């Protein structure tokens, strides 16, 4: 099996090197053919690596970058002033073929803007979309867009459905993924004009298995494999999902440690709670693919810890092995030819 090299924006995210370095080492242990390039300020990375002297670092290298994209940098500022940042240098390594994917927990808007300029979009892609899995009853459901496009027209939503279908086919080996549109109701008359027009476009495409509108309370129901929405709605929905999962976990832990009856219940229901927590743990679903680019770029949650960031690296590795950009390009070409 050919080796796989992934560039990690080592300086990005809320915790920077404290997360990206140990997560990279964890990923190297998990995957024997993985090579990781840590991109960032060399001296800082080397200092962090001194804390991991016992780890095998033979498949890890450093690519120096002078600058960092800050969380409050505007995308336009990143395009203009941050071409020497760890994020931009990592993306340039992907563009030049030195790595096969980039993983970053940095500024989402900057990552999307720099990716479009440096890596470039696939032919025919109007706007790339951010897509991530969320848990469902019997697996997971892909939700997109999650914030790359705050306002999307019907043609954008239709293309998101096409790209989401390709992702589900590649990752889950589904021949005909079920596609739904997130809406305020299931009735045909519900929703904005943009959502209704997008529904008509998706339903008219015989290559797409459109199952209709889906409401927010059915996101976890396993009624769809791909749920499409604009980035404003999708980002709010994702944050609500993450917050709800964290709240339920904290509430149960508090109850199990309160009083003698709570502790007894905790001992009795411990295995059930652990299985439940594993199912809804947001860390397991960390790693949102930027769909529509000519390379694999994965956005990690900015506040992800070591476990979560290593999951994002795992997601990037799988996307490279299955050649996700090529699959999306193929799907887009097939849909375009069917319209001619």
CATH number at residue 141: 3.40.718.10
Residue 335 lies in a domain: no
Give the domain-ending residue among 234, 264, 284: 284
Which pair of structure tokens corresponds to residue 171? 């990752």
Residue whose C-alpha is closest to residue 305's, from 2, 7, 13? 13
Residue whose C-alpha is closest to residue 65's, from 89, 93, 44, 46? 89
Positive or negative torsion for Cα 38, 40, 43, 44: negative
Check whether residue 113 and residue 192 sit in a common domain: no
Question: For residue 133, what is the enclosing H or E element?
Answer: strand 129-136
Check whether residue 166 and residue 94 sit in a common domain: no
The domain of 200 spans 131-284
Residue whose C-alpha is closest to residue 41's, from 95, 89, 75, 113? 89
Grouping H, G, I as helix, E, B as strand and the rest as coil, residue 334 is helix
Mean pLDDT of 262-266: 58
Residue 60 lies in a domain: yes
Better pLDDT: 190 or 43: 43
Domain count, the chain: 2
267 pLDDT band (50/70/90 cuts)? low
Mean pLDDT of 145-156: 88
Check whether residue 67 and residue 204 sit in a common domain: no
Check whether residue 27 and residue 160 sit in a common domain: no
Better pLDDT: 278 or 244: 244
pLDDT, tens digit, 9 for 90 and up, residues 1-29: 467 999 999 999 999 999 999 999 999 99
Residue 203 lies in a domain: yes
Check whether residue 138 and residue 114 sit in a common domain: no
Residue 336 lies in a domain: no
Residue 238 lies in a domain: yes
| Dihedral, CA of residue 67, residue 58, residue 287 and residue 281, to nearest 10 | -120
Q: What DSSP character marks residue 221?
A: T
Apex 23 CA angle, 74 and 145, nearest 5 = 45
Check whether residue 101 and residue 217 sit in a common domain: no
Check whether residue 138 and residue 272 sit in a common domain: yes
pLDDT at 330 (0 to 100): 87
Check whether residue 2 and residue 56 sit in a common domain: yes
Check whether residue 16 and residue 94 sit in a common domain: yes
Check whether residue 262 and residue 307 sit in a common domain: no
pLDDT at 338 (0 to 100): 64
Check whether residue 174 and residue 54 sit in a common domain: no
């Amino acid at each position: 099996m050919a080796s796989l090299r992934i560039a990690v924006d080592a300086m990005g995210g809320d915790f920077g090197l404290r997360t990206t370095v140990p997560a990279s080492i964890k990923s190297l242990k998990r995957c024997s053919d993985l090579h990781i390039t840590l991109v960032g300020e060399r001296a800082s990375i080397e200092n962090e690596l001194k804390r991991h002297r016992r780890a095998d670092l033979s498949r890890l290298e450093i690519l120096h970058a002078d600058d960092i994209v800050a969380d409050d940098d505007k995308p336009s500022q990143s395009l203009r002033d941050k071409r020497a940042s760890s994020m931009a240098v990592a993306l340039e390594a992907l563009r030049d073929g030195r790595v096969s994917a980039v993983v970053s927990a940095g500024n989402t808007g900057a990552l999307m803007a720099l990716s479009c300029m440096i890596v470039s979009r696939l032919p025919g892609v109007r706007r790339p979309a951010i897509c991530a899995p969320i848990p469902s009853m019997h697996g997971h459901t892909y939700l997109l867009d999650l914030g790359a496009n705050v306002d999307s027209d019907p043609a954008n939503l239709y293309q998101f459905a096409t790209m989401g279908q390709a992702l589900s086919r590649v990752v889950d080996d589904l021949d005909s993924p079920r596609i739904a549109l997130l809406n305020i109701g299931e009735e045909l008359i519900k929703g904005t004009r943009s959502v209704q027009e997008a529904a008509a476009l998706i339903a008219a495409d015989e290559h797409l298995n459109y199952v209709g509108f889906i409401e927010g309370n059915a996101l976890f129901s396993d009624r769809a494999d791909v749920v499409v929405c604009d980035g404003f709605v999708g980002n709010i929905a994702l944050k609500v999902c993450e917050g709800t999962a964290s709240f339920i976990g904290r509430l149960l832990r508090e109850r199990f440690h309160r009083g003698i009856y709570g502790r007894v219940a905790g001992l009795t229901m411990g295995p059930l709670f652990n299985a439940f927590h594993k199912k809804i743990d947001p860390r397991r679903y960390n790693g949102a693919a930027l769909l529509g680019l000519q390379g694999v770029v994965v956005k990690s949650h900015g506040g992800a810890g070591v476990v979560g960031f290593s999951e994002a690296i795992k997601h990037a590795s799988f996307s490279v092995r299955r050649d996700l950009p090529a699959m999306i390009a193929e799907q887009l070409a097939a849909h375009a030819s069917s319209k001619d």
